[in-house]
């Protein structure tokens, strides 16, 4: 039986969540007249609160400070030896995961097929660079790869020392802005240093790049936010993409004029929250258009019925930083407990634990459990979904893909836990309390009728989350953003 639950209308964090401090700090930074100078630190403050840092950063700063005058003179003389690049679009992906690289490859391919001329900013020698080289060779006239570290070579190691004075000045400015109660520790200074170094790389290349429009995969990182804001202040159209489940204030402000979202639900939520953030900060919004385009990163395959597998796919999200940031300690503890309870009630039931990519070792509860647990890490999601009867987790994007693929899906949630209205499409039926999950999961594993009912519910709600319940057609997207 599907129960009716009442959900918050905005993002709510769990008990003792660090995210509240991040939200207050970001608001104070963006409210200040220095926002354009400090934009690269909006994401850095999140990481500073999320990690404890290291006291070794303090002597490291002073060591760099000794070298800084010399290195600053070197930096001022390190003008790139390159001709000016002219393009219709400047593109920055900043991709690290294979799913991100595949998505950018598909998007850029569609743009090139439509005749666009692109300059793609990338770190040469990176996996992203290697994934793009064949495309650049296929379109030598239309596509130009621009090395983020152009001409620096081995000298790039001197970049930190060149950035330290400005980074430390900004570190002090930010701490003055946010106040003593939100003070950021010197132990995390390296995050400010890295953000300033990336800004310097961009400012070094900017005079050599002439473009009409900008496409950034994200708009909130330390480098992409600087590039995006520069383009916006110059009056240029900026397109960005929804990164994943909208789970914190880190998505705001939206530094783009056009946002490609998974579906209408995310588009409406992003727009509403961005406008609210702007009211808090007494600033204007940049985003004018939100375009629902379907699943940008993950493939959606309708999987065959998996009732006979009697397998629970547990989507792991555990990460110590995320636990502290969102206030997830209780949720992380309760999730495996209820899954094990279901497995004990159903004869022959198995558990597949899909580990979070950052997980380096098995959780303690796995080692203590007597149940049949299969460990999955690094395997394509579609393979795990294809041999599962149901999927359960907290708020992972893997759950939204599971639902769209036709796997009965459950988001475990209790009042007082983290919640984001970005997933409101699934609130009616797929969000369940621990007690309700046990009841419905047992039924789903033992009754084909119950399984079919849960499968239909998941697919129906996923159609509201992903436009058309499908993967993005990038040819249509390119036509839309070119209008």
Q: At CA 393, angle to CA 277 and CA 443, rounded to 5?
A: 130
- Per mean pLDDT, which range of 3-17, 167-181, 219-233 is the poorest? 3-17
User: Nearest Cα to 428, choosing from 460, 466, 393, 468?
Assistant: 460
Residues 49 and 198 in one domain: yes
Minimum mean pLDDT among 73-87, 287-301, 331-345, 439-453: which range? 73-87
- Boundary residue ending a domain (241, 259, 285): 241
- Parallel, antiparallel, or unpaired for β 390-393 and 238-241? unpaired
* Mean pLDDT along residues 87-97: 96
Q: Kindly state whether residue 15 falls inside one of the protein's structural domains.
A: no
Q: Are residues 314 and 233 in the same domain?
A: no
- Among residues 226, 241, 256, the one where a domain terminates is 241
Q: Does residue 101 fall inside a structural domain? A: no
CATH number of the domain that residue 315 is part of: 3.40.50.2000
Residue partners of 398: CB distance under 8 A and separation at least 6: 315, 354, 381, 391
314 and 432 in a common domain? yes
Q: What is the pLDDT of residues 354-411, one digit of tens each?
A: 998 777 778 888 877 777 789 998 889 999 999 999 999 999 999 999 999 999 999 9
Residue 258 lies in a domain: no
Same domain membership, residue 396 and residue 317 = yes
Q: Is residue 2 predicted with pLDDT exceeding 60?
A: no
Same domain (yes/no): 362, 454: yes
pLDDT at residue number 57: 62
Mean pLDDT, the chain, integer = 92
Segment 259-268, tens digit of pLDDT: 999 999 999 9
The reply to whether 350 and 434 lie within a common domain is yes
Domain of residue 336 covers 307-467
Which of these three, 183, 210, 241, is where a domain ends? Answer: 241
**Which residues pair with residue 176 across a beta bridge?**
none
> Within a domain: residue 16?
no
Residue 377 belongs to some domain of the structure: yes
Whether residue 323 sits in one domain with residue 208: no
Question: Above 70 in pLDDT, residue 54?
Answer: no
pLDDT at 102 over 80: yes
Query: Could you tell me the sign of the dihedral formed by the alpha carbons of 85, 140, 229, 158, in that order?
Result: negative
DSSP string, 260-291: EESSHHHHHHHHHHHHHHHHHHT------EEE
Greatest alpha-carbon pair distance for the chain in Å reads: 74
Q: Assess whether 73 and 188 both reside in one domain.
A: yes
CB atoms closer than 10 angstroms to residue 57: 17
Rounded Cα distance between 429 and 1, Å, is 9
As for how many domains the chain has, the answer is 2
Of 319 and 31, more confident? 31
Domain check: are 313 and 231 in the same one? Answer: no
The pLDDT, as a whole number, for residue 49 is 85
Is residue 44 in some structural domain? Answer: yes
* Within-domain flag for 233: yes
85 domain-assigned: no
């Amino acid at each position: 039986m599907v129960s009716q639950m009442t959900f918050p209308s905005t993002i709510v964090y769990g008990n003792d969540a660090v995210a509240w401090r991040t939200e207050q700090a970001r608001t104070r930074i963006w409210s200040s007249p220095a926002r354009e100078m400090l934009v690269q630190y909006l994401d850095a403050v999140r990481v500073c609160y999320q990690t404890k840092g290291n006291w070794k950063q303090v002597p490291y700063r002073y060591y760099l400070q000794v070298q800084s005058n010399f290195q600053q003179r070197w930096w001022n003389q390190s003008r790139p030896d390159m001709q000016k690049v002219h393009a219709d679009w400047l593109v920055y992906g900043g991709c690290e995961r294979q799913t991100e690289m595949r998505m950018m490859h598909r998007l850029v391919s569609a743009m090139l097929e439509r005749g666009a001329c692109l300059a793609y900013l990338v770190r040469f020698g990176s996996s992203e660079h290697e994934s793009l080289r064949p495309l650049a060779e296929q379109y030598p006239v239309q596509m130009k790869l621009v090395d983020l570290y152009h001409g620096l070579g081995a000298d790039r190691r001197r970049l930190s020392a060149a950035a330290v004075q400005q980074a430390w000045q900004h570190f002090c400015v930010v701490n003055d802005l946010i106040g003593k109660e939100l003070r950021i520790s010197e132990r995390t200074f390296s995050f400010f240093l890295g953000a300033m170094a990336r800004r310097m790389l961009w400012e070094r290349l900017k005079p050599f790049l002439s473009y009409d429009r900008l496409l950034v995969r994200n708009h909130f990182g330390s480098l992409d936010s600087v590039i995006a804001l520069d383009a916006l202040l110059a009056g240029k159209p900026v397109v960005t993409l929804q990164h994943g489940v909208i789970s914190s204030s880190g998505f705001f402000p939206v530094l783009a004029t056009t946002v490609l979202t998974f579906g209408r639900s995310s588009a409406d939520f992003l727009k509403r929250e961005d406008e609210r953030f702007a009211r808090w900060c007494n600033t204007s919004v940049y985003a004018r258009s939100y375009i629902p385009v379907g699943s940008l990163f993950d493939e959606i395959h309708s999987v065959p019925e998996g009732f006979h597998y009697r397998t629970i796919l547990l989507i792991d999200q555990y990460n110590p930083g995320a636990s502290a940031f969102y206030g997830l300690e209780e949720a992380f503890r309760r999730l495996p407990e209820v899954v094990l309870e279901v497995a004990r009630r159903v004869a022959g039931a198995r558990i597949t634990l899909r580990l979070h990519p950052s997980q380096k070792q098995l959780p303690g509860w796995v080692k203590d459990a007597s149940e049949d647990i299969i460990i999955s890490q690094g395997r394509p999601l579609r393979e795990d979904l294809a041999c599962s009867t149901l999927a359960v987790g907290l708020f992972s994007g893997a759950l939204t893909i599971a639902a769209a693929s036709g796997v009965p899906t459950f988001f475990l949630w209790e009042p007082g836990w983290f919640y984001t209205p970005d997933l409101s499409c699934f609130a009616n039926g797929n969000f369940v309390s621990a007690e309700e999950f046990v009841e419905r999961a047992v039924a789903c594993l033992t009754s084909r009728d119950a399984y079919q009912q849960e499968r239909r519910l998941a697919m129906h709600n996923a159609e509201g989350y992903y436009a058309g319940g499908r993967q993005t057609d990038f040819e249509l997207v390119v036509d839309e953003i070119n209008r």
